[in-house]
Amino acid sequence: MFVNFVSVHQAALCLLIVGWICAVYSPVESVAFSGNFLHSFAINDQLSVYKLEQRLKVPSSFQLYLLPV
């Protein structure tokens, strides 16, 4: 199993590619924002996920991206 740890400093930004499972551990009070957005680094993977969700009829509230139909 491949596991990687990343330390992010205060006010820093960490972007994960599509399909990566992540967790946030914070030993002190903090705020972590997350979301899904399209970017040009892995567009083929992102479109594959979208097509898979369409084939599986995943409800829109659980889809990774809200792409126009």
Q: What angle do CA 45, 66, 56 make, to 5 degrees?
A: 65
pLDDT above 90 as % of the chain: 4
Residue 63 — pLDDT band, cuts 50, 70, 90? confident
Question: Residue 7 contacts by C-beta under 8 Å, 6 or more apart in sequence?
Answer: none
pLDDT score of 65: 67
pLDDT at residue 66 is higher than 90: no
pLDDT at residue 41 is higher than 70: yes
pLDDT at residue 55 is higher than 90: yes
pLDDT score of 57: 92
Q: How far apart are CA 57 and CA 13, in angstroms?
A: 33
